């Protein structure tokens, strides 16, 4: 901590907050907000979401007895104030750095993080699970879930609410409605919440307290019926939540400390066997004018100047892979009216904002609903359209059943643009694209590609346009390309054909994905030691270029495959082919380099790949070790 705050310097754990008066709490809130802004200006990270819940965070820890009472933050990118107040303020400037604090909640980091998160819409389900466990263990601890208006639109949240409403188990769900997730929330839920706020039911403090106290001061019985009915009738927007079995309260001002204290205190103390929904209205980016005035409310920021709000710009003029994909798709869509762009609440992250500006009527942001996005794309494909579902690798995992049943089995030509393939740096293991090669390449009727550079990405987008009889996917990493001149949209790949980059005699490196440059570096270093190396860019894991792999297998002593994915992916398919063709019986030494069987913590990407064993030095060592290894076959009688 860099400043001498009046109260925050003495707050080490939530128990210290309880010593403060209401007036002192408000000063503490300002100090937490200031400290958070200052810290994130040095580290980068998620800013706007946390600024919007500072009052809520302080009051939650003031009212509830954490960590015995469980506090669950959906997604977790709004948890920085929570971290500051729960024994981690001295480490807050290590956010998202190697060996530092996670940018999300993490069970192994603190007992105040009862459930780890980084993907959305899990809080109500996990809260209900914890609450039921408490009931079975005869514990009376409270369980509180905080979920945003974007996250509550996802299907899992509805499933959880449906279960919670009939469970006769008390949980407190706080709906943090800031009219802003990463992008503007979309869909019927957004319209529904807007209707609540437009119906003259945004209570003043006095009205709120009167209604809440009148409803909560009595047990839920016939005697309390009039007060309850009155509250529910005035808060007409609560009808949906009421019908799902929740006792709905709100909306109330999430920046009004006195109102929050009164409502949360009553919610904590009420003896009610069922879920309670408290709907609060907050402002994302609250308290920092540059965030408040920004379109994205400074959701995710690089390092910035606190006084000017100016963020550090990338020093590279090379476009990102995301931008290359989006601009290539735009060029095709200018000529082909059947091309459709789909994203699941990540328009800027996937480049669909670029596509959407050009073709708004052909761009669909379906919200945090990857399952729906995939089947929606499948429906479009049945009618002859060419849907491109641009989804992060880690988020596509949530729609795997739909990929299998609704796309692959029916062999529908949905194109999957898989962003953030491989390790992603500061967002850590929850956002790493580690498994898509494996989970897509196991499926019949799929074409699976990986771009080794931005030029190859353009060719893969071009190629996917013409794949009209089956699904296809192309994966590409986070960050900028390597600075190559981009091909035209007419340059396409032959399906299932790789390319030889460099020719050698002794060792063959079979690359799939963006480790190609590391392979080239390793080759140059080993050439100085007299080791001749062939480098192949496989391009496809499905279908494999069997002729090319056969040829390099019989022409080289060592064959090593390299990919930014887990076991079961490209290397496994290569090994299966080599085994089926008896190529491993001809003194060929085959090794596969994959992501290790562990989750790799957040750090700089180049360091993460070093830890994963997929940088140039590890490639060199693998080659040398394999060349020096001896295969000993023990004969048995």
Catalytic residues, by residue number, are 284, 370, 398
Tell me the two tokens of residue 470. Answer: 């089956």
DSSP-derived letter for residue 583 is G
Collapsed DSSP state (helix, strand, coil) of residue 433: strand
State the Cα–Cα distance between residues 264 and 65, nearest whole angstrom. 12
- C-beta atoms surrounding 336 within 10 Å: 11
| Buried b / exposed e along 78-109 (16+ C-beta atoms within 10 A) | bbbbbbbbbbbbeebbbbbbeebbbbbbbeeb
CA-based end-to-end distance of the chain = 71
Can you say whether the dihedral through the CA atoms of 406, 410, 416, 422 is positive or negative? Answer: positive
Structure tokens at 412: 């529908």
What contacts 23, CB < 8 A, 6 or more positions away? none
- What CA–CA distance (Å, rounded) separates 61 from 73? 13
**Partner residues linked to 536 by β-bridges:** 500, 510
SS3 271: coil
Strands (E) across 451-506 are located at 472-475, 499-502
Question: What strands lie across the sheet with 415-419, from one edge to the other?
Answer: 363-365, 339-343, 386-392, 415-419, 472-475, 447-450, 540-542
Cis peptide before 514 (omega within 30 of 0): no
Counted residue by residue, the chain has a size of 637
Strand partners, 507: 533, 558
């Amino acid at each position: 901590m860099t400043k001498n705050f009046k109260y925050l310097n003495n707050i080490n754990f939530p128990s210290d907050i309880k010593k403060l008066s209401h007036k002192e709490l408000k000063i503490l809130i300002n100090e937490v907000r200031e400290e958070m802004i200052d810290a994130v200006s040095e580290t980068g990270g998620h800013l706007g979401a946390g600024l919007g819940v500072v009052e809520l965070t302080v009051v939650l820890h003031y009212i509830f007895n954490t960590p015995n009472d469980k506090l669950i933050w959906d997604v977790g990118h709004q948890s920085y104030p929570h971290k500051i107040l729960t024994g981690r303020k001295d480490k807050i400037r290590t956010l998202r750095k190697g060996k530092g604090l996670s940018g999300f909640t993490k069970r192994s980091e603190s007992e105040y993080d009862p459930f780890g998160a980084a993907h959305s819409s899990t809080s109500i389900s996990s809260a209900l699970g914890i609450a039921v466990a408490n009931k079975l263990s005869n514990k009376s601890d409270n369980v509180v879930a905080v979920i945003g208006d974007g996250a509550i639109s996802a299907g899992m949240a509805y499933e959880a609410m449906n279960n919670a409403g009939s469970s006769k188990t008390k949980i407190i769900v706080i709906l943090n409605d800031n009219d802003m997730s990463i992008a503007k929330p979309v869909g019927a839920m957004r319209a529904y919440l807007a209707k609540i706020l437009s119906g003259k039911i945004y209570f003043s403090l006095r009205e709120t307290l009167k209604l809440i106290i009148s409803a909560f001061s009595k047990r839920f019985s016939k005697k309390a019926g009039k007060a309850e009915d009155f509250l529910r009738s005035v808060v007409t927007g609560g009808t949906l939540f009421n019908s799902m079995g929740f006792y709905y309260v709100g909306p109330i001002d999430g920046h009004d400390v006195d109102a929050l204290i009164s409502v949360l205190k009553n919610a904590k103390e009420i003896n009610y066997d069922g879920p309670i929904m408290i709907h609060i209205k907050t402002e994302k980016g609250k308290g920092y004018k540059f965030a408040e005035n920004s379109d994205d409310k400074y959701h995710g920021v690089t390092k910035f100047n606190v006084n000017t709000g100016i963020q550090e710009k990338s020093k590279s003029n090379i476009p990102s892979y995301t931008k290359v994909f989006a601009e290539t798709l735009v060029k095709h869509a200018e000529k082909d009216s059947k091309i459709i762009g789909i994203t699941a609440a990540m328009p800027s992250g996937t480049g669909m904002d670029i596509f959407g500006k050009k073709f708004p009527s052909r761009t669909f942001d379906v919200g945090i609903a990857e399952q729906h996005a995939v089947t929606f794309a499948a429906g479009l494909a049945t009618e002859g359209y060419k849907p491109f579902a641009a989804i992060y690798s880690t988020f596509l995992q949530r729609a795997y059943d739909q990929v299998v049943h609704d796309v692959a089995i029916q062999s529908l030509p949905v194109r999957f643009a898989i962003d953030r393939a491989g390790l992603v740096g500061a967002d850590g293991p929850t956002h790493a694209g580690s498994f898509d090669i494996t989970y897509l390449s196991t499926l019949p009727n799929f074409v699976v590609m990986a771009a080794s550079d931005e030029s190859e990405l353009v060719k893969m987008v071009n190629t996917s346009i013409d794949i009209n009889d089956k699904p296809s996917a192309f994966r590409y990493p986070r960050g900028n390309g390597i600075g190559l001149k981009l091909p035209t949209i007419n340059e396409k790949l032959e399906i299932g054909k790789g390319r030889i980059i460099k020719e050698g005699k002794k060792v063959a490196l079979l690359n799939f994905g963006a480790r190609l440059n590391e392979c080239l570096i390793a080759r140059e270093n080993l050439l100085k030691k007299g080791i001749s190396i062939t480098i192949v860019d496989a391009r496809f894991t499905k279908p494999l270029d069997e002729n090319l792999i056969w040829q390099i297998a019989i022409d080289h002593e060592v064959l090593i495959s390299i990919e930014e994915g887990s076991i079961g992916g490209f290397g496994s398919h290569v090994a299966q082919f080599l085994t089926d063709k008896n190529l491993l019986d001809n003194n060929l030494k085959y090794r596969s380099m994959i992501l290790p069987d562990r989750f790799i913590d957040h750090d700089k990407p180049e360091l993460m790949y070093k830890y994963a064993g997929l940088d140039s030095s590890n490639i060199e060592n693998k080659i040398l070790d394999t060349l020096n290894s001896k295969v000993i076959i023990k004969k048995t009688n």
